[in-house]
Structure 1
Amino acid sequence: MLKTAILATLLAAAIPAFATGPEKVTTVIFVNAAEEEATPSAGLSTEGQDQARMFTEALRHIDVAAIYTIYQNKAVQTVGPLSELRQLHPVYYWVTRDSETRECVLDCIVKKNKGKTIVICGNPENIPAMARSLGVRAKAVKTLYDKGSGQFLIVQVLGNNTAVAQKLNMNIQKKV
């Protein structure tokens, strides 16, 4: 179900771009770092490891061109399984509170990967700001990370500087 939702979102967001011309659609999949143990140096909790596996499984059939992550244990471990599956080394980026610098870093990442699908892993307080920098309305990401870990956001960046977003939860397929 999660894979179907991701694929449907990717396809639906790409249709308007093809209708208006040959503009390339860039897909940015923001993922919040998975749940970690009470002691951060211990790594991901069992739930966090499950979240990382489910995220990787959800993207199994998506052609991911690059993986970006902050240099923080829980973030690196969150994208680790996807990195291994795709045989891609994560590229580390620096988190900054300065919006101008953050937007510049994000702009460079998106321009470098124009027309591709990329993953960006970070902290809950940074991802909504990054999504807004891409043109996602604040209302769409306002409550995205209220629950903390295990959330991800797919943002389709169209050539005319507009963005379409879809929020998903990695626990959607969790067995009860």
Structure 2
Amino acid sequence: MLKTAIIATLLASGVQAFATEPDVTTIIFVNAAEVETSPSADPGLSVAGLEQANQLTTSLADVDIATIYTTYANRAVQTVTPLSKARQRGLDYFRINDDPELMNSVMKDMLKRNKGKTIVICSDPENIPAMVRHLGVRGKDVKTLYDKGCGQVLVVKVSGNNTAVAQKLNMNIQKKV
């Protein structure tokens, strides 16, 4: 229970404190929530995944979010749809692949459009480490701060001098113990 309170406090105060500094862009990377067991190549969320998506919305209720980005994957879209509806804001879609130039272009565009703001980026766990490393977080830090489990949140704060700092959180922070 104490761990839950500490993580909730870090998310609430840490994101807001940095979001108010004009040169700091806060990026909240969200793993797609838990998917249903399905033979589909693009499954939707499980019941637990839908709960995680709703918990994300509740956890970010007091955070001023400028833009919500998502890949086209069904699980990613369903993860941030409750947040999008709560904010009465559309989703901005993006595609990435293994092409470093495309990754560079997508990330530069997101940062340029949202300088000094807080944004949410939802993707699959395979994509997020590459995106985070592109921002300047060392690979070792990404590996220790981030795992491939569903329902994880990684907050990266990029300062005006392009220094990036990462902090791992969990979407289950509001879950009752």
Give the TM-score normalised by structure 2: 0.88
> Aligned runs of 1:1-176 on 2, under 5 Å?
1=5, 2-10=7-15, 13=18, 24-39=23-38, 40=40, 43-176=44-177
Superposition deviation, residue 116 in structure 1:
0.6
Q: Which amino acid aligns with 1:137?
A: R
Superposition deviation, residue 14 in structure 1:
6.4
Q: Which amino acid aligns with 2:33?
A: A
Q: Is the CA contact 2:70–2:93 (under 8 Å) kept in the aligned structure 1?
A: yes
Give unpaired runs (5+ residues) of structure 1: none
CA RMSD of aligned residues (A): 1.9
Q: Is the CA contact 2:30–2:153 (under 8 Å) kept in the aligned structure 1?
A: yes
Deviation by residue 1:66-123 (Cα, 9 ceiling, x = unmatched): 0000001110000001000111100100021112211211111111100110000001
- 2:92 & 2:18 partners in 1: Cα distance? 26
Q: Which amino acid aligns with 2:79?
A: T
- 1:170 & 1:130 partners in 2: Cα distance? 19
Superposition deviation, residue 139 in structure 1:
1.5
Q: Is the CA contact 2:125–2:148 (under 8 Å) kept in the aligned structure 1?
A: no
Give the paired residue count.
170
- 1:25 & 1:135 partners in 2: Cα distance? 14
Superposition deviation, residue 161 in structure 1:
0.8
Superposition deviation, residue 42 in structure 1:
5.4
Share of identical aligned residues, percent? 57
Tell me the SS of whatever aligns to 1:82: helix
Q: Is the CA contact 2:71–2:94 (under 8 Å) kept in the aligned structure 1?
A: yes
Tell me the SS of whatever aligns to 1:64: coil
Give the TM-score normalised by structure 1: 0.88
- 1:34 & 1:67 partners in 2: Cα distance? 15
